[in-house]
A = this chain, B = another copy of it.
Amino acid sequence: MIARTPEPPYYAVIFTSERTDVDNGYGETAERMVELASQQSGFLGVESARNEIGITVSYWSDLEAIANWRKDAEHTLAREKGRADWYRVFKVRIAKVERDYDFKK
C-alpha cells in the first residue's frame, strides 16, 4: 500500500537489498519489524516491494526518530540477523523528502 505521508518536509529511509537463499524466520521478522516500526514515535509509513531486488522505504518525521528506531533492541537484533543470514548485499539511503505529489484515477 502507498503510504499516506503528511506534507513535506519529512524523511525517507530507502533500503535496497538482494536476499540470500536463507529463510530462517525472514518473513516473520520482516512483518514484526513493520509492526514495531509503526509503534515508534515519528513513524509516518512504509512501502515495500520485492522481485529481483527488494526496496523498502520507511518514512519518518525527522532524523531523531530514525536514530531512535535504529537503537531499538529488537530492531538491532534483526539487523544483525540480516547481515548474518538474509542479505547478500544491501544499501541504505537517508533522504529528506522536499516535495511530493500524487495521482488517483
Contacts and interface: CB of A to CB of B under 8 A. Distances in A.
Interface of A: 1-3, 5, 8, 12, 14, 16-18, 20, 47-55, 57, 83, 87-105
- How many of these chains are in the complex? 2
B2 A57 contact: no
- Classify the secondary structure of A's interface with B: strand
Given A2-B16, A16-B2, A101 B95 contact: no
Contacts of A103: 83, 87, 89-91
Contact of A95 (B18, B51, B88, B98): B98
Nearest to A100: B93
> Looking at A83, A92, A93, A103, which has the most chain B CB atoms within 10 Å of its CB?
A93
